[in-house]
A and B are shown apart, each in its own frame.
With several copies, the nearest count.
Chain A
Amino acid sequence: MTATFDLDADQVMIRDQAHEVLAEYSTLSRLCALLENKEGFDTALWNGTAELGWPGAVVAEAFGGHDIGWTTVCMLAEEIGRVCGAIPHSSTAVVADYLGTLASGHPDREYLADIAAGKVIATIGICEKGTNLLPAQPSVRFDGTRLYGTKAAVAFGAVASHALIYVRSSPGSVGLVLADLNDPSVMRQPHPALDDSRGYADLIFDGTPARLCENGRQNSAGWLLDRAAIAYACEQLGGAQACLDIACDYARTRTAFGQSIGRFQAIKHALADVYAAIEIARGNVYHALSPDGLANLPVAAATARLASTHAYELAAKTAIQVHGGIGVTWEGGLHHHYRRSRVLALELGSPIGWRNQLIDHLAGAAA
């Protein structure tokens, strides 16, 4: 099947390493265990990837990072998505990417070294309840030196060391701050969720010291969200392709009514539709990683996100349907993709919000 990325020799090596570490740690039994033990993420896998330097993938060499580029980060996200890996790779990479855009004197840039060293696990808390992407009045207030209020249902909030939070500051003003979640003023309330392998938590700030973490862009949170959407789209694409591969394998081997079920058009055509959705998502992801896409980020990010969300959700539910009974069992494991496909569609804000971002831009351009 078509690969998303045209890889150079270094990237091929990195991907092969990724296959190894992911195959070792991200097994079905471990995924089931993660839902049951409520640890919140796959510590062993995270440590394994940290050893390979993934957290520092986009960090400049000056800070001890590998600086191997955004495309490589996204390629790794695809590999993680393929095995439902339960680690905050994308959010950590996006935070690192963002910190790299801060003015050179900004103190938060110091965290880049910690990220590269694997000492920081980062997440993002931007979107909130409802269908808009950026809340007009973020629920966490920043008084200039400290944070107050609750950010609900932050993915990996239970396990991350730091979170980039979208806050309101002076009346009418909004912005980003990087919060140290290990500060004693932070309470983390576990937030039970459809996919408990992603350590959702309500982050309750009560006077947490912080400073503005702005890179001078007019809509820094929107920019961050767009970049995150692209990394997430890669995870979704990997997950979708895995579901298709698993379902095709099953359809070729499972028999009913005296023949392999893959011979029934109901199965064949459902899987052909999944293939088509994945290829469309792949095209949009590829575009979002291209210079053209990056130059028109809000549109490219929205299309990559919408197409990949659709592909992953369709692939996950179709894979279950193709499997029949075994598809809905705990041990059958397809529910990991089914859960993941839904939470990845929500963590960066409602699909309705992304739809609106796309159309607002298209209709504006047509105006």
Chain B
Amino acid sequence: MSTTDRNVAYRQQAREWLSEHAPSYSGSVRDGLSVEDDLALGKRWQRLKAESGFAAITLPQEYGGAGGTEVEKAIFSEEEMRFDLPTAYFSISLGMPIPIMARYANDEQRNRHIPPAIRGEEIWCQLFSEPAAGSDLAALRLAARRDGDGWRLNGQKLWTSWAQFSDFGVVVARTDPSVPKHAGLTYFYVDMKSTGISVRPVKLLSGNEDVNEVFFDEVYISDNQRLGDVGGGFRVAIDTLMIERYAVTDPAGYGPPLSALIDLARQVGDGDKAAIDDGQVRDEIARAYCEQQGLRIIHDRAVAALARGGEPGPEGAVRKLLSAASRQRIGALALDLAGVEGVSWSEGDAIRSHFSASWLDSPTLRIAGGTDEILRNTIAEHILKLPQDYRPDKGKPFN
């Protein structure tokens, strides 16, 4: 059987499995659930996937992964995304910290930590950003000082997704403030139940509380929880951000599908004609449709490149840049079409089905995980080979 045939068969198998199981964990089943209940549902879904060989598809089977290919992972993600499943709680955990553990931790640590994470029994978070270190990650201040065989951590992290539900986390700390900022960092993993860690959810503009402040007060970490060299933490942090070779994302930026806007535009209007016959509405829909279709083809080609053993290419930045801005624009347009009733919004409205919720949340999308500005810099520097911005702190001691 050729690779292509195998992938077609895999997709079929994934589809069948999902159509059998996913409905009991998605859609209306989740309506009205508290976050805690939704998380519990998500944990059950994750365990079922692990038992059926659909969890952590690219990780080795010895740890409970599926030992599959990047293409299989992409195929399963595409198919899984058709359902509205409670998978968000595991996207960080299994996307970055756990693969990093698989790369950097020792055998004992891998055996202890990877299987329960894949089964959804334990969740990992990623403690990187800080109040004064967002786009500029290397400016982080959380301090780790030597204490006997281990380290004491003091300081604060911010924007840590799902920290409130996490059992463990990977953390970058400053171990030497006297050297230039990138050189003084070291990377650890930490038990989130350690004495001295406190987590405070941060309420976002939409009312969501999926990110947190995490405070470290004399938190002790054994040196064998260090991943990589002392002073080598920035390298491991970059590895963490790059370790997912390819992540399937939604061209509509997880907002309502464009077909919902088209339906709306066919229903409302000014009394004389439907909004779909208004040229400005048509222009916006056409623009969004071209963008989303272009992104879908870019995705297909990236998966094809993976299947040929190549690299998926650097288009992820384009995808995030365009889909975030588009969701904001499309959301506003949909409310314009609704007129006075466009103001309607209730806390908890699903982003996928409510344009007002999608619009309200969209600024977060344009900032989290790389602001529009950072993404444009990434494209300009990494793809177009234009020079880096001026960095006055380059080579200077951090303190």
Q: Consider the complex of A and B and state whether they touch directly, i.e. have CB atoms less than 8 Å apart.
A: yes
> A279 an interface residue at 8 Å Cβ cutoff?
yes
Do A342 and B335 contact each other (CB < 8 Å), given the known contacts A248-B384, A264-B373, A330-B203?
A: yes
Q: Which residues, 364 to 399 on B, are CB-close (under 8 Å) to A?
A: 364, 366-368, 371-373, 375-377, 379-381, 383-394, 396
> A280 an interface residue at 8 Å Cβ cutoff?
yes
Q: Which of B282, B295, B372, B380 contacts A359 (CB 8 A)?
A: B282
Do A355 and B344 contact each other (CB < 8 Å), given the known contacts A324-B134, A366-B266?
A: no
Cα of A313 to Cα of B342 in the assembled complex, Å: 15
For the complex formed, measure the closest distance between the CB of B261 and the CB atoms of chain A, giving whole angstroms.
10
Q: What are 17 A-to-B residue pairs whose CB atoms are below 8 Å? A: A132-B272, A191-B344, A193-B343, A193-B345, A194-B345, A257-B391, A263-B388, A265-B376, A265-B377, A268-B384, A268-B386, A269-B376, A272-B379, A338-B360, A347-B340, A355-B282, A362-B285
Q: Secondary structure at chain B's binding surface: helix, strand, loop or mixed? A: helix
Smallest Cβ-Cβ distance to B383: which chain A residue? A275
> B259 an interface residue at 8 Å Cβ cutoff?
yes
> B318 an interface residue at 8 Å Cβ cutoff?
yes
Q: Secondary structure at chain A's binding surface: helix, strand, loop or mixed? A: helix
B282 touches A356 (CB 8 A): yes
Which chain B residues lie closer than 8 Å to A127 at the CB level?
A: 339-340
A1 touches B282 (CB 8 A): no
Residues of A near any B CB (own CB < 8 A): 1-2, 127-132, 135-136, 152-153, 155, 191-195, 200, 244, 248, 251-252, 255-260, 262-269, 271-273, 275-276, 279-284, 286-287, 302-303, 306-307, 310, 313, 317, 320-321, 324-331, 334-335, 338-339, 342-343, 345-347, 349-353, 355-356, 358-359, 362-363, 366-367
**Which of B85-93, B95-103, B105-113, B273-281 contacts its partner?**
B273-281
Which chain B residues lie closer than 8 Å to A346 at the CB level?
A: 335-336, 338-340, 342-343
A352 touches B345 (CB 8 A): no
| Interface-centre pick from A130, A264, A350 (highest chain B CB count, 10 A) | A130
Do A257 and B389 contact each other (CB < 8 Å), given the known contacts A194-B345, A272-B376, A325-B134?
A: yes
Which chain B residues lie closer than 8 Å to A2 at the CB level?
A: 301, 313, 315
A307 touches B290 (CB 8 A): yes
> B62 an interface residue at 8 Å Cβ cutoff?
no
B 314-329 binary contact with A (CB < 8 Å = 1; else 0): 0100100110000010
> B262 an interface residue at 8 Å Cβ cutoff?
yes
Which chain A residues lie closer than 8 Å to B270 at the CB level?
A: 130-132, 352-353, 356
Q: Which of B289, B340, B346 contacts A153 (CB 8 A)?
A: B340
Which chain B residues lie closer than 8 Å to A200 at the CB level?
A: 343
A276 touches B379 (CB 8 A): yes
B342 touches A306 (CB 8 A): no
Which chain B residues lie closer than 8 Å to A287 at the CB level?
A: 293, 297
Q: Which of B159, B294, B296 contacts A307 (CB 8 A)?
A: B294
Do A259 and B392 contact each other (CB < 8 Å), given the known contacts A321-B366, A325-B368?
A: yes
A192 touches B293 (CB 8 A): no
Q: Which residues, 91 to 146 on B, are CB-close (under 8 Å) to A?
A: 129, 131-132, 134-136, 139
Do A303 and B290 contact each other (CB < 8 Å), given the known contacts A129-B340, A153-B341, A330-B204?
A: yes
B386 touches A262 (CB 8 A): yes
A324 touches B371 (CB 8 A): yes
Cα of A324 to Cα of B328 in the assembled complex, Å: 16
A328 touches B336 (CB 8 A): no
Cα of A329 to Cα of B368 in the assembled complex, Å: 12
* Additional A-B contacts beyond A130-B339, A132-B269, A268-B377 (7; CB < 8 A): A129-B268, A129-B341, A192-B346, A303-B286, A326-B131, A346-B335, A355-B286
A366 touches B259 (CB 8 A): yes
B340 touches A283 (CB 8 A): no
Which chain B residues lie closer than 8 Å to A283 at the CB level?
A: 293-298, 301
| Interface-centre pick from A129, A153, A325, A367 (highest chain B CB count, 10 A) | A325
Which chain B residues lie closer than 8 Å to A343 at the CB level?
A: 343
Cα of A109 to Cα of B1 in the assembled complex, Å: 44
Cα of A139 to Cα of B148 in the assembled complex, Å: 76
